[in-house]
Structures are given as C-alpha cells and as structure tokens.
Structure 1
Amino acid sequence: MRYATDHVTVTVPATAGNLGPGFDSLGMAMGVTDEVEVWALGSPRVEIEIEGEGAETLPRDETHLIVRAIRAASDAVGVPHTGLRIVARNSIPHGKGLGSSAAAVVAGIAAVRGLLAEPEVLDNEAMLRLATEFEGHPDNAAPAIWGGATVAWLDHEGAHAVPLDVAQGIETAVLIPRAVLPTKEARAVLPEKVPHHDAAFNVGRAALLVAALSGHPERLWAATEDRLHQGYRASVMPSAAAMIEYLRERGLPAVVSGAGPSVLVIGTALAAGGLVTGTPGWAEGIGGDSWSCVHTAGSVPGVSVAR
C-alpha cells in the first residue's frame, strides 16, 4: 500500500449523538464543519497550525487527535508513517456535545483514505470501526462519515451503521450555550443500571424516532422523549435542562445534543419559531446562560476529501 498524493483537504461536519432516546446509536450531522489540510512530508517532523476552536488549548505534536487517527489508519492499511503538516480550521465548538472529537478522528482517517492510491481499502465501514476504537461508541462517527442521520451499533466485528432516509422538510437547530461540559463528566453521572420500564420506554421511543424522521414529523415530540440519560445529566448541565424544558413546553422536540450541554431541536418550519442561525434574543438568560443557534435545513453531507 502506498500514497498517491502528498496533500488532501478534508471537510467534516459536526454531529449530534443520541437524538434523545437513541443512546449511543442514533446520530445526525449538523451544519457546522471543520476543514483540515494534511501534507505527508519526507522528513519525520510534525507541524500543526490551528485556527478557531482549540487554537489556544490543543496540542501541536503526535498527541493531537488528528495525528493519532492518521497513525492508526496508516497502521491499519500498512502504510509507513511519514512526517506531517496539518492546518486545522476548526468551527465545531469543543466540549459542547457536537462531536468535535469524532470529527477530528474521522478527519484523520479520511485524510489517509484520500492520500492512498487505493482509497477503497478504507471504506465507510472500515473508517467507522477505526473511529469507534477511539470514541468507544459510534453514534457521532457514523453521521460524520455518512452524513444525514444514521443508526449505528456494535457487535463482535466492531461498529456498523446504516443511513436513514430523512423526510424532506425536517430541519434541525442547535442551541449552543457558553457553558462547557467534558463528555467524561457527562458520562460519569449515568447509573450502571436503569429500571426495566425505563429501558422499555426508550426502546419504543427510539423505534418511533426512526419512523418520525422517515416521514412522520408530527410524532417527533413524543419520539424524542428519553429516560436513560437526560434526567441523570440535568444536575451537571442545568442550562441545557432549563432550555429543553422551555422548548418542550412550547411543543418543540428538544433534546440534549450528544453529551451536552448544547440542545438540539428536530422539527419542521423551525425558523418560524425563532430558531434561526445567530443569537436569538428570546434565548438570552434561559438557564442562566447565553445561547447561539445554528439552523440547518436539508441533509448535511458527511466527510469529504479533495486531493
């Protein structure tokens, strides 16, 4: 296996995992993207430039998540490690439940696919299995790869996913607070066991959500109810809990985006309800926080690579 080029540009979307009841399985691509340029160098050095999110905090050496993903993908296909120059232009917020780490991992793996003379060896399924080894769960990586909405699962072979046919007219809006919540902290508050009736409730709602997304948007409010994680996490993301309560009381299908604290709304004609891209005045102060909004109409494409 060898590289056919020494430069690629990767574009990868933000994602929302869970979508309410589909814990660690359902996910959706959002209308915010990171762009990463990667050069394979003849020397062993690693050079990283970061613009936007994480410019002040992310490492600029082999420990950077994109570099680690490139190394893992190179090992998987048997390509020797090279020096790297990476320019990351980050727009996906960090620590907000929008899949920034999954985007970095997918970007690194996709960069290797783009550099290869035989990119088909890193097809979507292979990319997902590699990404899930980093993430531990596939609900963010799957929509980052396929785009749109996806259902993902794990078995003895690793991670798998299938894209969903989302009906025309279904839109998303993500409300992003100033507050940050590390995924590890959000997972730490979840119990090891849940009551059987809560598990049964979520199975029904997750199945209903697939139907709602595929052509029954009038069922989205009921389909986005959850008893497995959002209630347990309310104590560590009070602003998100307050925003979800505010929106659902007004009939809007609102859920925690991934591990939070961003809030995702899935529905139709969302702009008419004030869910437009920008800083909606009505949201100011809800949960004691300030909020920005990203509204997306139509399906968001998954990761793309340009040579």
Structure 2
Amino acid sequence: MFKIKVPATSANMGPGLDTLGVAFKLYNSFIVEEIETGLEILGCDEKFANSNNLVYSSMLKTFEKLKKDPKGVRLTFKTDIPVSGGLGSSATCILAGITAANRLCGDALTKQEVLKYACEIEGHSDNVTPALVGGMTVSIINEGATYYNKIPISEGVKFCVLIPKLQLATEDSRAVLPEKVPLKDAVFNVGRVSMLIVALVNGDYKGVKLACMDKLHQPYRMGLIENYSEITSFVEDTKALGVFLSGAGPTIMVMLKKDDNSTEKKLKEFLQGLSGNWETLNLEIDENGLEILDM
C-alpha cells in the first residue's frame, strides 16, 4: 500500500499557452492498494467511481505500455483541488494513475517516461510538468518527447487565487480557441512570455502586468466566465503585479508582492458584490512535485 500526493497547478500563466505552469501547495492524494481482483474506488463522487475513472484509465494505459496484466486495485481519494476549476485536477489524476501502475510494476519507468506518457494522455505539458517536478516550469513537446526547464521565481512573489462556484470543462474552454491566429498576435505573445519569465526570475516586476497579457486564449475564454472582465479590470487598478486566467479557467490567478497585505482585502470586498460566490485562497509554490509515500 502506498500514497501518491500530487500538487495543484496553474497552467498557461497568461501568454504561455500550453507551455508555462506552476505547482502549488494544494494537493490531491491517492492511496493505492493491490487486491485479489476487481476495482474499488473510495472517496470520490459516485459518478467517477468506475472503470472510466481518469486515475484508473491512466493506470490501464500504463499497464498496456509495460505489457503487464493488472491485478485488482483499491483506490482511495482525498482531493482538495476543485474539479474542472483550472487548477490541474485532471493532471493529478493522470500522473497518479501512471505512477501507481509504474510502482506496481517495480518502477520500470523513469521520471522522463512518466512525463511523456502523461503528456500523451493530457495532450499538452503545461500542467503535468510542474505537477510532476514542482516549481514553475516551461515545457515543450517535440516529436513525442517532452523537454522542460524549471524557472527559479524570485522570492518576492506570492499568489492569490480567485475561485468561483463554477465548473468549466477543459474541452469546452478549448473548443472556443481559433485554429489560426494573426502573426501580430503570435508575436505579441512571444514577447510577453519572454518578458514574464525574465521579470519573475530577476525580481524586476515593473513589466509583469503587461507580460501577463495574452491574445491566444484569454480573449476567447473570457466570455465563458461571468464577471471575468470586471474582475481583471479591478485587479489591474490595484497594486497587484499581474492577473491571468488559471489554466482553462474559471479560476483567476493574481500575482502579488509578498509584502502586499492590502490588495487581497480589497479583492475580497470587491468579489462580495458579484455573483458566482467567488472565494480567495493564498497559495505557496510547491517545489517538490509528485511524491510517493509508503504506508
């Protein structure tokens, strides 16, 4: 019996569509037990407690790749990350499933292979990479292989998450994106991704607000989230360093200076006047990523 602990993530980070992500100290945990036969899933919504469960289906795909026949398994979930909320809940399930199958097969896969299989299932690398290795990462997929680097963010930054009582499926949020974009929009994002990374590493925050701007996904997804424009406009008029849509949404991420203790209070007061039952949550960066704990 063992436990897999996987951190929440925020992907895209403004202009970094499918490439930038950061892991946080908010977790989904999965206890894995091998049993004689069958499947038991405990601690999750009944509609997910079946063979289509993303953790279990990811396990099966991994067993298939490793050419191993699975025995029975009991999975016990303890989940603190909102489902379909833009904080990487699906990435935690995919990584947990691959990691569980790998451990049951004697850890046949390297971390790089685990990442490769996770990207194949997820379809992109910006969530699964920081969830696996921790910290802020930039990652790309080339000819089926995933390459990444960790980005050492300056210690002067903290994150405040704005979470509505709304679920937004990634498939729906991705469906609104155009297949082609103007060259000027692509250039716009290239410059801002570069500026965002350098500013966060150097601790020179003057350009972060502009660097969080985007023309590839946020303008198309904002219409799916009630009060998105009002909230981001309000944030931009505060002392916040920057604001961006977390993953595919609906969660909104606000970056603040660590010594800024007034902006979150203003945000809470503003959100109380809006529909959507918005909540705020302060999150610290998780530098470790996925952990396996023997029980």
Relative to the length of structure 2, the TM-score reads: 0.92
**Matched residues in 2 for 1:11 and 1:271: separation?**
31
Of residues 177, 180, 184 in structure 2, which corresponds to 1:197? 184
- Shift in Å at residue 266 of structure 1? 2.2
Contact map agreement 1:169 1:298 (CA 8 A) in 2: no
Deviations 1:94-142 (A, max 9, x none): 111111111110111122343443x2x4222211111111111111000
Q: Say if 1:165 and 1:81 are closer, same or farther in 2 by CA, change over 3 A.
A: same
- CA 207–15 in structure 1, closer or farther in 2 if over 3 Å, else same: same
The one of 204, 215, 236 equivalent to 1:227 is: 215
1:217 shift after superposition: 4.3
The letter of the residue matching 1:175 is L
Q: How many angstroms apart in 1 are the aligned matches of 2:28 and 2:89?
A: 9
Pair 1:127-2:114 in alignment: yes
8 Å CA contact 1:40–1:82 kept in 2: the answer is yes
Specify the code of the residue in structure 1 equivalent to 2:101: V
Q: 2:281 aligns with which of 281, 290, 294?
A: 294
- Specify the alignment match of 2:96 in structure 1: 107
1-side partners of 2:269 and 2:113: how far apart? 44
Question: Percent identity of the aligned residues?
Answer: 31
Where does residue 71 of structure 1 map in the other structure?
A: 60
Match of 1:46 in 2: 39
Q: Which consecutive residues of structure 1, in runs of 5 or more, have no partner in the other structure?
A: 1-6
Query: Do the aligned residues in 2 keep the contact of 1:175 with 1:294 (CA within 8 Å)?
Result: yes
How many angstroms apart in 2 are the aligned matches of 1:185 and 1:203?
25
Partner amino acid for 2:109? Answer: L
Give, as a single letter, the amino acid of the residue that structure 2 aligns with 1:268.
Answer: K
> How far apart in 1 are the matches of 2:180 and 2:91?
26
Name the counterpart of 1:169: 156
Residues 191-220 of structure 1, C-alpha deviation per residue, up to 9 Å, x if partnerless? 111111111010000111111221234132
Q: Secondary structure at the match of 2:219?
A: helix
CA distance in 1, matches of 2:158, 2:204: 10
Identify if the C-alpha distance between structure 1 residues 61 and 289 changes in structure 2 by more than 3 Å, giving closer, same or farther.
closer
| Amino acid across the alignment from 2:211 | A
C-alpha change, 1:271 and 1:148, in structure 2 (3 Å) is: same
Give the conservation status (yes or no) of the 8 Å contact 1:146–1:303: yes
1:283 & 1:300 partners in 2: Cα distance? 30
Are 1:257 and 1:263, in contact at CA under 8 Å, matched by a contact in 2? yes
Corresponding position: 1:16 with 2:10? yes
Q: 1:81 to 1:116 in 2, by over 3 A?
A: closer
Q: Give the match's secondary structure for 1:280.
A: helix
Q: CA deviation at 1:189?
A: 1.1
**Matches for 1:136-151 after TM superposition, within 5 Å:** 136-151=123-138
Deviations 1:218-254 (A, max 9, x none): 1321221111111111211133332222111224201
Q: In the alignment, which of 20, 44, 51 is matched to residue 26 of structure 1?
A: 20
5+ long unaligned stretches in structure 2: none
Residues of 1 paired with 2:279 and 2:114: CA distance?
32
| Separation of aligned partners in 1, 2:59 and 2:276 | 37
Letter in 1 for 2:171: K
Distance 1:8 1:184, change over 3 A: same
1:244 and 2:232 correspond:
yes
Aligned to 1:4: none
1:242-290 per-residue CA deviation (whole Å, 9 max, x = no partner) reads: 22221112242010000001001123227513438xx93442133x322
